[in-house]
Amino acid sequence: MAVSRAEIAVAAGARPRPGMWTAIARFARKKPLGAAGGVLMLVMLVTAIFAEVLQTHDPIATAAAATLAGPSADHWLGTDHLGRDIYSRIVHGARVSLVVGVASTLLGSVLGGIIGLLSGYVGGRTDMVTQRILDILQGLPLLVLALVMSAALGPAVHNVIIAISIPIIPRAARVIRSSVLSIREMQYVEAARSLGVRHLRIAFRHILPNTIGSFIVLCTAQLGSAILVEATLSYLGLGVPEPYPSWGRMLSVSAAEYAQKAPHLVLFPGIAISLAVFGSNLLGDALRDTLDPRLRGS
């Protein structure tokens, strides 16, 4: 008679691993704020994927007769100074913010993670020189460095991704390096060295997988900052160019001239940015507490 792995584990006294939905329910029960942040990010993801389905109007189509119209049955969140539907532009702006935020976060985190992995594992003079270069980059605030890079590269989607990813590199390198410094002293790493395993294989096969928890926390923590920096760059005219709907550009066009006459132009894009950053930060904090063994009891 066939015996399942779960039955073998129970017979051996081992506790069966919980399923995905059980783990999600446990996470929501222990970290309700983190679960709320996850729901906000899930809503933003669904909105970005199904933007064409959720839109009520063409986000870039103008209508002179509907200029600065308030919220109504036809235009749920009103229109801007060109008669464009605010709701549809916010829906499509979620796609722009998510694409730029995720791409720049992954690019900066992966490059920084590789640098931190090699720097922490090799050590010595290589580590010292690398850390001093990272100190110089990290000495500038993320927004300032992104402004400099965006101004040098010019307003374009791929340039904005590069401009935001570069300031993330030193922060990611520091986080991964700190994990590598403790992992490289483990007994299984010493055993691999004694067996003559190549250093690159040890670094990428035995050490790198054990930094995945820190990497996930790093990405979720930096995602909110990346979305906020993209909105700031677009607000200053250095971010995503027209005709792409961007939450920051929606604020830059309306904040100064139409804030008092049509406050919905500022209110709704501002709420969208706040919810995206708030949800990312809540989810990142909860994942940090869950994945970090030192904080699991908090």
State the angle between helix axes of 264-291 and 212-235 in degrees (0 to 180), rounded to the nearest 10: 170
Is residue 92 within 8 A of residue 51, CB to CB? The reply is yes
What token pair was written down for 155?
A: 């307003």
Mean predicted confidence (pLDDT) in 109-120? 93
Note the residue count of the chain. Answer: 298
What token pair was written down for 82?
A: 């060109």
Task: Classify domain 54-65+85-295 at the CATH superfamily level.
Answer: MetI-like (1.10.3720.10)
DSSP 62-81: --GGGTT--S-SSSTT-B-T
pLDDT at 266 over 90: no
Contacts of 5 (CB under 8 A, 6+ apart): none
Mean predicted confidence (pLDDT) in 233-241? 83
Higher pLDDT: 208 or 88? It is 88
Contacts of 188 (CB under 8 A, 6+ apart): 206
- Check residue 129 and give its pLDDT: 92
Mean predicted confidence (pLDDT) in 147-167? 86
Model-level pTM? 0.83
19: left (phi over 0), alpha (psi -120 to 50) or beta: beta
Contacts of 104 (CB under 8 A, 6+ apart): 160, 161, 162, 163, 164, 165, 168, 226, 230
What token pair was written down for 156?
A: 């374009």
pLDDT at 47 over 90: yes
pLDDT at 16 over 70: no
Whole-angstrom Cα distance, residue 45 to residue 99? 10
Confidence of residue 275 (pLDDT cuts 50, 70, 90): very high
- Check residue 3 and give its pLDDT: 46
Q: Cα 208 from chain centroid?
A: 20
- Check residue 91 and give its pLDDT: 94
Q: pLDDT tens digits for 163-207?
A: 899 889 998 999 899 889 888 888 888 888 888 888 888 888 888
Assign 85 to helix, strand or coil: strand
Confidence of residue 296 (pLDDT cuts 50, 70, 90): low
pLDDT at 11 over 70: no
Is residue 18 within 8 A of residue 277, CB to CB? The reply is no
Give the sign of the dihedral formed by CA 182, CA 183, CA 188, CA 194. Answer: negative
Confidence of residue 287 (pLDDT cuts 50, 70, 90): confident
Range in 48-52, 138-142, 181-185, 217-221 the model is least confident about: 138-142
Confidence of residue 89 (pLDDT cuts 50, 70, 90): very high
